[in-house]
Chains A and B, each alone.
Chain A
Amino acid sequence: SQTIHQWPATLVQPVGSPLSLECTVEGTSNPNLYWYRQAAGRGLQLLFYSVGIGQISSEVPQNLSASRPQDRQFILSSKKLLLSDSGFYLCAWSGDNNYGYTFGSGTRLTVV
């Protein structure tokens, strides 16, 4: 069966520090991968998506970047965090038909 792992679960980082969040998928090949950010208790904003290794599409201009160095690995990064980067970050994967996402358990990022 397919599984998705996302870590860390929580992170407190000072303003100006770098960020690296990692997401890996097991049990499937060539998944579509996504990074979303969620405001407290509300809807999800798509940040990046990838349909293959090295292929990254950005949805929102921001202080973040994404990379996909391997087929089932998706990384969200920042060189210098801002206070506004705080939030709940979710990684997800889907198959080609896009009939359902499977989400990771999320990372709660607090920038202080």
Chain B
Amino acid sequence: TQLLEQSPQFLSIQEGENLTVYCNSSSVFSSLQWYRQEPGEGPVLLVTVVTGGEVKKLKRLTFQFGDARKDSSLHITAAQPGDTGLYLCAGGFNDYKLSFGAGTTVTVRA
């Protein structure tokens, strides 16, 4: 079983502050995905990265894939209460399956 470690487990910040969530593994990913999930709903895909060193931006969210394709980060600039949720990273290992991290619960206070 491939293990993805996410940190921190919980993050509570004030509106307007920045935050970064990390996802690490000892294995090399073929692809890495980030999802956001709200209570009682299914996760929603935010981004997929496949190339080592790749950086993708989605409005105030910046996703980075490590050069060795073993780690990734999600950075949110000027967080808003609407960014509150559970952020999950998921790694693909050249098969049909994804392994998910345990998630980071982000709370943005107004």
Contact = CB atoms under 8 A, between A and B. Distances in A.
* B and A form one assembly: yes
Interface of A: 6, 32, 34, 36, 41-46, 49, 51, 59, 90, 92, 94, 98-106, 108
Contacts, number: 63
Given A42-B103, A43-B102, A105-B42, A98 B88 contact: no
B100 A43 contact: yes
Return the 9 tightest CB-CB contacts between A and B, nearest first.
A103-B42, A43-B102, A44-B100, A100-B45, A43-B100, A99-B48, A32-B96, A106-B42, A100-B48
B86 interface: yes
B52 interface: no
Given A42-B103, A44-B88, A92 B97 contact: no
A49 B97 contact: yes
Q: What secondary structure prevails in chain B residues at the interface with A?
A: strand
B105 interface: yes
Interface residues of B, number: 27
Interface in B24-66: 31, 33, 35, 39-45, 48, 50
Contact of B31 (A41, A51, A98, A104): A98
12 contacts: A36-B100, A41-B103, A43-B88, A45-B100, A46-B97, A49-B96, A90-B42, A98-B95, A98-B97, A104-B42, A105-B42, A106-B41
Q: What secondary structure prevails in chain A residues at the interface with B?
A: strand
Contact of B96 (A43, A44, A94): A94
A45 B102 CA distance: 10
B23 to A, nearest CB: 11
B105 to A, nearest CB: 6
Nearest to A97: B31
A95 to B, nearest CB: 10
B86 A41 contact: yes
B38 to A, nearest CB: 11
B7 to A, nearest CB: 13
Contact of A103 (B40, B43, B99): B43
Contacts of A32: 96
